[in-house]
Structure 1
């Protein structure tokens, strides 16, 4: 295989990939949390939340693939173990099964954290003139901002 030459300085490419690794870890942790809550939600809003969480974890499954493939496109290995994700993620695992209202609050915070992580990666991508990563991360931010708004709206 030849050396990568996509017009991004190697140091920038590696910084961007490191940022994307954190974004991947946050996204995967949020995916697992959302899937857990989909399986275990109970209460008067069961059907609504069960279906909403399903939509969210399906979207996140696609997102983690897109993020991991972008890391690979930058010629860096993508993290792919629970141990690596736990070390890289800003979102902590949840013990037990919280009540549905707490599930909503935890997922809201999780989506907001992914937005914050995305903002950091966006800065790296812009500084490195990496439009492809910037576009991916901008799309992720928009989706997570909208999802956190929808989750907050269920608590009003």
Structure 2
């Protein structure tokens, strides 16, 4: 780092915020949101991997759905990071910090059939949705209703995506089975 550069705020610290939320309460919410941010990036990369690798007769529809899904997750991650900053925190940004904070395990580097990939996605979505519900309750209990509302809106999108994936996993199809 050059002599001209200064750190404005160290990672893992909480400063004041213009939202008039007590710093101790904000710190608890920031910790929860940084977990959500880390989990979002794990999900983002897994969905992107599946988008790249999907094959078969239903390739195009699934490819397009996965692109929409990972773009929605990326948009949600951006909202979370901006909320962390508004609360006086520092959003996790390095791969190391995100990896350390994540509570979900990514799929390995192997390429799987889309059914296995979707089953892995449903598992990850489920864990993330459970975490969101806990963090919504935390934010509401600490008087941060705006964060609770933001997470509620994101939870609706997560649930919509997992619902679509669940439909893809049904046995009923117009594609002939060999």
What TM-score bracket applies, with the shorter chain setting the length?
Answer: over 0.9
SS at match of 2:107: coil
Rg comparison, structure with higher value: 2
- Identify the residue that residue 77 of structure 1 maps to in structure 2: 90
Could you say which structure has the higher helix fraction?
1
Greater CA deviation, 105-114 or 132-141? 105-114
Asked if residue 53 in structure 1 is aligned to residue 86 in structure 2, the reply is: no
> Cα RMSD between the aligned structures?
1.6
**By how many angstroms is 1:100 displaced?**
0.7
Instruction: List gaps (5 residues or longer) in structure 1.
Output: none
| Contact 1:104–1:151 under 8 Å retained in 2 | yes
CA separation of 1:25/1:3 partners in 2, compared to 1, >3 Å: closer, same or farther? Answer: closer
Asked if residue 124 in structure 1 is aligned to residue 124 in structure 2, the reply is: no
SS at match of 1:79: coil
- TM (norm. structure 2) is 0.82
- TM (norm. structure 1) is 0.93
Mapped partners of 2:95, 2:103: distance in 1: 14
Instruction: List gaps (5 residues or longer) in structure 2.
Output: 1-7, 9-14, 171-178
1:70-93, CA deviations, whole angstroms, 9 ceiling, x for partnerless residues?
A: 000001000012211221112212
